[in-house]
Amino acid sequence: MIFNNLNLKGMYKATDSNGLLITYQKNDVVLYKGKTYIATRSITETSPAHGERGGWNLISGGVNPIQFYWGEQQPINANIGDEWFDITTGKLYKYITDGNSEQWVNIY
Protein backbone atom coordinates (compact mmCIF):
# COMPACT_ATOMS: atom_id res chain seq x y z
CA MET A 1 0.00 0.00 0.00
CA ILE A 2 1.39 3.41 -0.97
CA PHE A 3 0.17 6.44 0.93
CA ASN A 4 -0.37 9.42 -1.36
CA ASN A 5 -2.45 12.51 -0.65
CA LEU A 6 -3.06 11.79 3.03
CA ASN A 7 -5.48 14.14 4.76
CA LEU A 8 -4.85 14.34 8.50
CA LYS A 9 -8.23 15.07 10.12
CA GLY A 10 -7.28 14.81 13.80
CA MET A 11 -9.43 12.99 16.32
CA TYR A 12 -12.26 10.90 14.89
CA LYS A 13 -15.70 12.50 15.31
CA ALA A 14 -19.03 11.13 14.10
CA THR A 15 -20.65 14.58 13.95
CA ASP A 16 -19.53 18.16 13.55
CA SER A 17 -20.23 21.05 15.95
CA ASN A 18 -23.71 21.47 14.38
CA GLY A 19 -24.60 17.81 14.96
CA LEU A 20 -24.32 16.93 11.27
CA LEU A 21 -22.77 13.60 10.28
CA ILE A 22 -19.18 13.80 9.08
CA THR A 23 -18.23 11.94 5.91
CA TYR A 24 -14.61 10.87 5.70
CA GLN A 25 -13.08 10.43 2.26
CA LYS A 26 -10.53 7.89 1.03
CA ASN A 27 -7.05 8.67 2.51
CA ASP A 28 -8.44 10.71 5.41
CA VAL A 29 -6.35 9.89 8.49
CA VAL A 30 -7.85 10.01 11.99
CA LEU A 31 -6.76 9.30 15.54
CA TYR A 32 -9.03 7.00 17.53
CA LYS A 33 -8.33 5.56 20.99
CA GLY A 34 -4.58 6.04 20.73
CA LYS A 35 -4.25 4.56 17.25
CA THR A 36 -4.06 6.03 13.75
CA TYR A 37 -6.43 4.88 11.00
CA ILE A 38 -6.80 5.65 7.29
CA ALA A 39 -10.10 5.59 5.38
CA THR A 40 -10.09 3.17 2.44
CA ARG A 41 -13.29 4.62 0.96
CA SER A 42 -15.95 7.26 1.67
CA ILE A 43 -17.30 6.60 5.18
CA THR A 44 -20.23 8.02 7.16
CA GLU A 45 -21.46 6.73 10.55
CA THR A 46 -18.81 3.99 10.87
CA SER A 47 -16.07 4.48 13.44
CA PRO A 48 -12.54 3.08 13.15
CA ALA A 49 -13.59 0.51 15.78
CA HIS A 50 -15.25 -1.35 12.87
CA GLY A 51 -11.84 -1.86 11.24
CA GLU A 52 -11.47 -3.02 7.65
CA ARG A 53 -15.12 -4.11 7.47
CA GLY A 54 -16.10 -0.49 8.15
CA GLY A 55 -13.62 0.98 5.66
CA TRP A 56 -10.77 1.80 8.09
CA ASN A 57 -7.21 0.42 8.10
CA LEU A 58 -5.02 0.66 11.18
CA ILE A 59 -1.73 2.31 10.21
CA SER A 60 -0.15 2.73 13.65
CA GLY A 61 -0.79 2.33 17.31
CA GLY A 62 -0.30 -0.10 20.11
CA VAL A 63 1.13 -0.39 23.58
CA ASN A 64 4.47 1.36 23.01
CA PRO A 65 4.48 5.06 23.90
CA ILE A 66 4.96 7.37 20.94
CA GLN A 67 8.29 9.16 20.83
CA PHE A 68 8.69 12.64 19.37
CA TYR A 69 12.00 13.48 17.70
CA TRP A 70 13.31 16.69 16.13
CA GLY A 71 16.45 17.33 14.18
CA GLU A 72 18.02 17.27 10.73
CA GLN A 73 18.21 13.46 10.35
CA GLN A 74 15.52 10.77 10.46
CA PRO A 75 15.72 8.73 13.68
CA ILE A 76 17.20 5.30 12.93
CA ASN A 77 15.49 3.25 15.66
CA ALA A 78 11.93 4.55 15.30
CA ASN A 79 8.85 2.58 16.34
CA ILE A 80 5.48 2.61 14.61
CA GLY A 81 3.61 5.76 15.60
CA ASP A 82 6.71 7.83 16.42
CA GLU A 83 6.85 11.37 15.04
CA TRP A 84 9.78 13.40 13.75
CA PHE A 85 9.95 17.12 13.07
CA ASP A 86 12.57 17.93 10.42
CA ILE A 87 14.02 21.26 11.58
CA THR A 88 15.57 21.97 8.16
CA THR A 89 12.29 21.75 6.23
CA GLY A 90 9.69 22.44 8.93
CA LYS A 91 7.84 19.22 8.03
CA LEU A 92 6.30 16.74 10.47
CA TYR A 93 6.54 13.00 9.78
CA LYS A 94 4.94 9.92 11.31
CA TYR A 95 6.53 6.47 11.21
CA ILE A 96 3.94 3.99 9.90
CA THR A 97 3.54 0.50 8.53
CA ASP A 98 1.41 -0.59 5.61
CA GLY A 99 1.70 -4.25 6.53
CA ASN A 100 4.60 -4.86 4.15
CA SER A 101 7.07 -2.13 5.02
CA GLU A 102 7.73 0.70 7.45
CA GLN A 103 8.38 4.29 6.44
CA TRP A 104 8.28 7.95 7.44
CA VAL A 105 5.23 9.70 5.94
CA ASN A 106 4.86 13.48 5.83
CA ILE A 107 1.75 14.49 7.76
CA TYR A 108 2.20 18.27 7.86
Q: What is the pLDDT of residues 61-104, one digit of tens each?
A: 655 567 888 999 999 888 888 899 999 999 999 999 877 888 99
- The per-residue pLDDT for 63 is 54
Class at the top of the CATH hierarchy for domain 7-60 = mainly beta
84 has which bridge partners?
69, 93
Averaged pLDDT for residues 2-29 = 86
Q: Of 44, 41, 70, 66, nearest to 56 (Cα)?
A: 41
Averaged pLDDT for residues 56-63 = 75
**What is the C-alpha separation between 89 and 106, in angstroms, rounded?**
11
| Of 4-8, 23-27, 54-58, minimum mean pLDDT range | 4-8
- The per-residue pLDDT for 61 is 65
Tell whether the model's pLDDT for residue 4 goes beyond 70.
no
Domain boundaries, the chain: 7-60, 68-106
**What is the C-alpha separation between 12 and 78, in angstroms, rounded?**
25
**What is the C-alpha separation between 43 and 34, in angstroms, rounded?**
20
